[in-house]
Amino acid sequence: MAPDPAAFPKDLLSPLASDELKARIYPLIAIADEALTANLTSHVPYIEKVSSYIIFSGGKRLRPVLFLLAAAALGREGDPRLAAIFEYLHAATLLHDDVVDEAGLRRGRPAARVEYGNDSVILVGDFLFSKSYSLAVEVPDIRFVTALSDCTTIMGEGQVLELLHTDDLELSAEGYLGVIKAKTAVLIAAACQMGAIYAGATDAQVEALYDYGLNLGLAFQMVDDALDYVGTAHEFGKPVGHDLAEGKITLPFIHVRDTAPAEARARLLELARLGRQDASQVEEAKALITAHDGVDATYQAARRYAALAQAALTRLASPARPGSEMETLLALAAYVLERRH
Amino acid sequence: MAPDPAAFPKDLLSPLASDELKARIYPLIAIADEALTANLTSHVPYIEKVSSYIIFSGGKRLRPVLFLLAAAALGREGDPRLAAIFEYLHAATLLHDDVVDEAGLRRGRPAARVEYGNDSVILVGDFLFSKSYSLAVEVPDIRFVTALSDCTTIMGEGQVLELLHTDDLELSAEGYLGVIKAKTAVLIAAACQMGAIYAGATDAQVEALYDYGLNLGLAFQMVDDALDYVGTAHEFGKPVGHDLAEGKITLPFIHVRDTAPAEARARLLELARLGRQDASQVEEAKALITAHDGVDATYQAARRYAALAQAALTRLASPARPGSEMETLLALAAYVLERRH
C-alpha cells in the first residue's frame, strides 16, 4: 500500500522559518486577490455576487501563489490574471462539491448553496469553469490550455470516483491515493506546471514542476484528512469528523482498519456503518482512529510526499539560492505539514 | 422588440425536399454517433454509463452535423472526433439543467438525474464539459479552443440569466432573445464557426458561418418554445405547457402579454401567477396563448431568423452548387421550421 519508506529522503529541507515564509507569500496572496477581483466581471451581476461569496471567504490562495512562484522560479514574472485560473477552477469544484455533499458549512460560514440555492451554485460553478478556460486560451502556447484540459478531465473523473467510493469501507490505500490525486493534487500540479510553461521552460523543467505540485498536493490533502480527525470545528471552519459522517473514507481510517488489533478494527467498522446518523458514534470512531495511530501514520505519509515534492525540485538545473523562489517552493513543501487549518 | 420585418428576406430558400435532406443528413448522424461512442472512454466505467444514458437517448445530433457540414462547406472533411465536442457539451448542459429544473422526464424517459441521482449527473456533467475541451485542444490552432471558451462563458452566463428570469412575468422580448442566444444559439454558432476554423477558412468566412449558426440557433429555440404550447407530450417527449409550469417565460407568452386585448392579458398574467400549481390553469393559459396568436407570432419570428441564417451564407464567395454542403446548410435553415419534435 503505502510507498516504501526507504524510497524517501529522511529529512525535509526547511530552509525558512515560518515568519520568513509568510513574508514572502503574503505579497503574492495580495497580488492574486487583486487579480481575482479584477477578472470576476460578468454581464450578470448576480454571477459576481455568488462567485465572490465563495472566492472571498478565506481561501488560502495556494494555487495562484504556486503559479506565480513556479513562473518566477523559471525566470518569468507570472501574470496575476492567469493565476486566477486556478482559484476560479478550485471555487467551481467547491461549489459543485457542496451540492453533492449537501454541505451546510464551508470555511466556517454557510455554504454558498445554503445562501443562494443549489441551482445557482451549479450554474455559477459552470461559469467559473468556463472563465478559467477563457483566461487560459489567452496564452498562445497550446501546451498551456492543454495542461488545463488534462487536469480538469482527471478532476472530473476523480470527483465521480470519490462519489462512488462514498461509504466504501473497503477502499484501499491505493484507491484513496487515486481519489486524492484526481480531486486535489492534479490541480495543484497544473498550477505549477502551467507556471513553468508560461515561463517558457523546457519539457524536463515543466515535468519537474508538475511532479513537485503533484506530491505537494498529495501531502496537502493528507494533512487535510488528518486534520479532520484532530482539529476543532472552530479552527478548521467545519465540523470535525465530518469526512466519516459523510462516508468519506480517508487514510486515517484506512490505516487503523488495516493495522489495528482485531477488536479495534471490528469496532471501527461497526461504528462506520452506524456512524452517519449519530454524533456520539462519530466521536468514538474518531477517538479510536487517533488512539491507533491513524492520524500519526497519515502525517508520516504526508511527510514522505512533501519530501518527494522537494526531491522533484532538485532535478532542476538551478539551485535554490537564498531569497529565490525555488527556496520558497522548497519551504512551502515543509510548511504544508505544519498547517492547522 | 422584434426586428423590423422589412429587414428580412421575404421567402426562405428551401432548395431540398425533406426526404432529400434526410438522405444527406442521416449518414452524417451515423458518423457522429460512431465518434460519440468511440470517444466516450474513461477510467471510470460508471462515467461512460451515465454519459451514454443522456447521449444515446435520441438526441438530434444537430450540433455535430453542423460542424461536419461547415467544415466540408469550407473545403475540408470534418474530423468526427471533433464533432463530438458539441454533443458532449450539449449533454453536460442538459444534465445540469435537469438538476436545476428538477426535471422528471427528458426525451420521453426518466431524466438521468432520476436514474442516477443529482450528485452523479452534476459530476458527470463536469466531466463531459472537460472532455469537450480535451478534444478541442487537439487542434493546434488556438482560435479553435478560443471559440469554445467564448461560447461556454456566454452559455454559463445564459444559464444563470434564465434562472434569474424564472417567474419573471415582465421579461421583455429583448431579454428573451438574450437568454435563448446564450443558452442555445451560441453553441450551435460555435459548431459552425469551429467547423470553418478547422477547415482553415478566412476570418470573414468564419464569421459568416458563426452568424449562420447563431440565427439558426435562435430560430431553432423559438420553434422549440412554440412547440411547448402546441405539441403533444407523446410527440415532444416531455409534458406540454412545461415551460410555463416551470416559470419559463418564452416568446409565445410574451407576444400575447404585450399584444392581446386587455382582458386576455390580465387573465394570462393571473393564470401565470397561479399556474405552477394547477394543471387546468396551465391548460387555460395554453389555450389563451394559442388563441391570441402567440404560437403563430413565434413561428413568424423563427422564420425571420432562419432567413437571416440563410442570408449569412450568401456572404460566402462560393455559391450553393447542387449537391453541395452549402445547399444542405441552406435547406437545414428551412427545415428547422418544419420540425415537430
pLDDT value at A7 more than 60: no
pLDDT, one tens digit per residue, over A175-232 is 999 999 999 999 999 999 999 999 999 999 999 999 999 999 999 999 999 999 886 6
Contact: B156, A96; criterion CB under 8 Å: no
Quote the pLDDT of residue B113: 93
**For A233-261, what is the mean pLDDT?**
81
Q: Tell me, what's the pLDDT at B278?
A: 74
Interchain CB distance below 8 Å, B163 and A118: no
Per-residue pLDDT for A3 more than 50?
A: no
Q: For chain A, what percent of residues have pLDDT higher than 70?
A: 91
Q: Do A44 and B161 touch (CB under 8 A)?
A: yes
| pLDDT score at A102 | 87
ipTM for the predicted complex comes to 0.88
Q: Each residue of A55-95: pLDDT tens digit?
A: 988 778 999 999 999 999 999 999 999 999 999 999 999 99
CATH number listed for the domain at residues A16-335: 1.10.600.10
The pLDDT assigned to B138 comes to: 94
pLDDT at A1: 39
Whether residue A237 lies within 8 A of chain B, CB to CB, comes out as no
pLDDT (0 to 100) of residue A9: 53
Report the pLDDT value the prediction gives residue A246, as an integer from 0 to 100: 82
- According to the model, what pLDDT value does residue B239 have? 58
Put simply, the answer to whether A156 touches B99 (Cβ < 8 Å) is: no
pLDDT for res B95:
95
User: In the predicted model, is pLDDT for residue A16 greater than 60?
Assistant: yes
Q: What is the pLDDT of residue A332?
A: 94
Domain ranges of chain B: 16-335
Q: Which residues contact B336 (CB under 8 A, 6 or more apart)?
A: B216, B219, B220, B223, B302, B306
pLDDT above 90 as % of chain A: 69
Residues of chain B with pLDDT under 50: 1-8, 236
Chain B residues with beta carbon closer than 8 angstroms to that of A156: 47, 123-124, 126-131
Least confident of A272-281, A311-320, B130-139, B283-292: A272-281
Q: Do B130 and A149 touch (CB under 8 A)?
A: yes
Residue pair A219/A326 in contact (Cβ under 8 Å)? The answer is no
Instruction: Check CB contact of A49 with chain B, cutoff 8 Å.
Output: no
Q: What is the pLDDT of residue A341?
A: 57
pLDDT of residue A303: 96
* pLDDT band at residue A264 using 50, 70 and 90 as cut-offs: very high
pLDDT of residue B58: 77
pTM of the model: 0.90
Cell of B56: 444515446
The pLDDT, as a whole number, for residue A121 is 94
For cell 492574486, what's the residue? A32
CA distance B291 to B294: 8
Closest residue to A137, CB basis, from B145, B163, B164:
B145
* pLDDT, chain A, mean: 89
